[in-house]
Amino acid sequence: MLPYTKCVLPVILYKSTNVTERFILPAIQLRTFSKNQSATFGNEHYKQLTSIQKAVLAVGTGLSSFFDPTRAESIAVFGEVTAEPALRYIYEQMLSDPEGAEILREKPRINSKTVEIERLAQFSSDSFGRAYYDFLHSNNVTPDSRLPVRYIKDPELAYVMQRYREIHDLVHTVTGQPTNMLGEVVVKWIEGIQTGLPMCVTGGLFGATRLKPKQREKYIQTHLPWAIQVGKNSRPFLNIYYEKRWEDSVEQLRDYISPLLNKPPK
Amino acid sequence: MIRQRLLTLGSGNSSTNSLYSFRYFTSSSYLCDKATIGGSLGSESNRTHYSSEKETHFGYETVSEQEKAHKVKAVFENVAKTYDIMNDVMSIGIHRVWKDIFIQRLGPGNRTKLIDVAGGTEFSTNQRPENEVEAMQQAASESNPQPPKTYENTLTRSVLVCDINPKMLDVGKERSKTILTHCQRNRIDWMEGDAENLPTIPDNSFDAYTIAFGIRNCVHVDKVLEEAYRIIRPGGRFMCLEFSHVTNPAVKWAYDQYSFQMIPVMGQIIAGDWDSYQYLVESIRKFPNQEEFKSMIEQVGFRFTSYEDLSFGVATIHTGFKI
C-alpha cells in the first residue's frame, strides 16, 4: 500500500487551544500517512465543566485524594481536571516519536477485552507479557478498573489521559515496583518527571508524607534518587507500544527504556 | 418549649389499640419473609407494575418507567453511605431545621401511629426520639402521677419506617444504634416496601403519614398519594416535605447556580458520584410546583390541604387530612 502525502494547507490558529488545529494539521504537512485514517477516541463520557466547577473540583478532589489515597475516582478526577497543559506537552512528545505516533494513530486500549490476559500466562517466564500477568495476579488487580476520562474536551488529549491511566500497571511491571505506598510514590515520581502531570507531582510529593518510618528511610536513601534518575534519563513510558512487546524479554525492554531499570533499589 | 411540645410516641395500653395495631407486620413477618412484603422491583403479582413502554423523566432524561425505577434504585444504593453527610454539606445543615419544623407542624402525640415512607436513613424519625425522653418525663409527671413507663409499655411500636431501598434502611438502622436508646429503638419498626403499593398494610392503619424528600423519586406520584390515602385512618394527616419551586427571581437564580454548579461537584468530591447528584438537582426541577402538587393531593381525596414554603420555596411542606 503506497503511502500518500496529504496536501493540507492548515490554517494555524496561533491562539487556538485545540490540539487538532495546533499540532495535527502541521504534523500532516510534515508526515506521510498510510491510507488508513487514524482511529478516533470516542470520549463519550465527556462532561463539560465551567471554570468555577473546575477550580472547586481540583481543590476538593486534591484534598480528598490526600486524606484518602485509596479513593481511586477522586485521584482520577483530580488528575483530569489539572492535566490539560501537561497533556499538550505529552501529545507533542508522542507525535515526535515514531512509536508514540503509532500509538496515537491506532489508539489501542488496554482492558480485559483487548488484552487476552490468560494467553500472557503461557509466554516464557522471562517475557514481559508473563511479568505483567504475574503482576496482575499477585496484586489482585485487573486492567478493567481504570475509570473512563470525563472532563477533557479534546478527544486526542482525552485519549492520551486514558492511555496514561491504562498503562499505569504496565509501568509498575516495567519498574518492578509493588502497589504499596512506597511503590506508588516511586512510580508517581517517575511519571511526574516524564509527563509533568500535576497529579503525579503532587502524588509523589504529598504521598511521601504518608510513608511509615521504615519505608521513609528506604525512600530517602535509595528509592527517591533512583526514581529521579530513571525519570530524567529514560524513554517516555507513554511512547512504548506495550501491546506489541508482550513476547520481548523483560530485561531487554527495561534496557531499552533505561538501563537503570535493571538495577532497582531493594 | 418546642422540645416539650414534641411529645412521646409511646403507645398506651395495647388492648385499646388492637384495631389500629400493626403488630402483624412485626419482626417475624417482615424480617423473615421478604417475599410477601412489597420488596424491591420483583416479579411478583402484587408488585407495582412499572411499564417498559410508558415514558417518564429521570432528571432531564426521558426514560421508560421501568428504567426510572431501576436508575433511582441505583442512585440510592450508591449514595446510601454518604447520604447524611451530603445532606449536611449541600444544605449547610439547613435540612435539619426543615425536618425539625416538619415534625413540629405534625405535632405527634404520645399515641400517634406514624408511618415514615421513604424514611431510609431515617433522619426525620431520629429527630423525634431525641426529645422523647424529656417529653416522656414531662408527660408522665403532668398527666399521670404514676411510676415511669414499664418495660412492656416501651416495647410497643409506634413508628414504621418504610423504604424501597434496603441499603438506605441498613444505614438507618446503623444510625439508630448510635443515636437512639434501646427503648426508643424498640418503638421503631422497619420495612422494605414500595410506597406505590403496600399490600401488607391494611386500610386505615395510621394516624399520620410522613414522606420527607422521597416522593419526588417515585415513578407514579399519584399512586403514592392514593396508597397514602388508603392507609391513613379517617381523621389522619398526610404530610409531605419536598423540594419545590422558588418564585423569587433573585433567589431562584442563586439557587439554580448553586444547584447546578456546586452540588454535583460536591457529590464528586465527597461521595465520588457526580451523576447521582446531577439527577437530584434535575429531579427537583421536574417535580410539580406547590399549587400543582396541592391539587394532586386534593384529587386523591385529602381535604383541608395547604402548603407552607420553607426557605423561599426551596423546600415546602404539603399537608392534607382524610376527613
Q: Tell me which chain A residues have a C-beta less than 8 angstroms from the C-beta of B261.
A: 50, 52-53
Is the ipTM higher than 0.90? The answer is: no
Contact A60 B261 (CB under 8 A): no
Which residue shows C-alpha cell 503525579? A200
Confidence tier at A54 by pLDDT (50, 70, 90): very high
Cross-chain residue pair B268–A61, CB shorter than 8 Å: yes
pLDDT at residue A88, rounded to an integer: 92
Between B120 and A237, whose confidence is greater? A237
Task: Count interface pairs A-B at CB distance under 8 A.
Answer: 29
Distance CA B94, CA B105 (A): 17
Task: Report how far residue B132's alpha carbon sits from residue B126's, in angstroms, rounded to the nearest whole number.
Answer: 10
Q: How many C-alpha atoms does B242 have within 13 Å on its Cβ side?
A: 29
Dist. CA B308–CA B241, nearest whole Å = 9
Nearest to B272 among A53, A63, A74 (CB): A74
DSSP reduced 3-state for B56: strand
Grid cell for residue A246: 508482550
Report pLDDT for A162.
92
B266 touches chain A (CB under 8 A): yes
| In the block, residue with C-alpha cell 404520645 | B110
Question: Nearest residue on chain B to A62, judged by CA atoms?
Answer: B269
User: Which residues of chain B make contact with A74, given a CB cutoff of 8 A?
Assistant: 269, 272
Q: Which of A95, A84, A91, A75 has its CA nearest to residue A33?
A: A95
Interface of A with B in 67-86 (CB under 8 A): 71, 73-74, 77
Give the closest-approach CA distance of A77 to chain B in angstroms.
8
> C-alpha grid cell for residue A13?
490558529
| pLDDT-derived band at A120, boundaries 50, 70, 90 | confident
CA of residue A53 relative to chain centroid, distance: 25
On whether any CB of chain A is under 8 Å from the CB of B27, the answer is no
A8: pLDDT confidence band, cut at 50, 70 and 90?
Answer: very low
CA–CA min distance B262, chain A (Å): 7
- Residue A33: other Cβ atoms inside 10 A: 15
The CA–CA distances, whole Å, from A239 to A102, A160, A167, B296 equal: 9, 11, 11, 63
Q: Hey, are the CB atoms on A57 and B269 less than 8 Å from each other?
A: yes
Inter-chain residue contact B265 with A57, CB threshold 8 Å: yes
Q: What is the pLDDT along chain B (323 residues), one digit of tens a residue?
A: 444 333 333 333 333 333 333 333 333 333 223 333 333 343 343 456 788 778 888 888 888 888 888 888 888 877 777 888 888 888 888 988 898 898 888 887 777 888 888 877 765 555 554 444 334 444 444 444 444 444 333 334 588 888 888 888 888 888 878 777 777 777 788 888 888 999 989 999 899 999 998 898 888 999 999 999 999 999 999 999 999 999 999 999 999 999 999 999 999 999 888 988 998 899 999 999 999 999 999 999 999 999 999 999 999 999 999 98
3-state secondary structure of B20: coil
Query: Chain A: nearest CA to B86, how far in angstroms?
Result: 14
Asked if A73 lies within 8 A of B272 by C-beta distance, the reply is yes
pLDDT at B124: 57
Distance CA A254, CA A260 (A): 8
Chain B CB within 8 Å of residue A60 CB? yes
CB under 8 Å to B3, separation ≥6 — which residues? B131, B134, B135
Question: When comparing pLDDT for A99 and A34, which is higher?
Answer: A99
CB burial class (10 A; 0-12, 13-18, 19+) of residue A266? exposed
For chain A, say whether B89 makes contact (Cβ under 8 Å). Answer: no
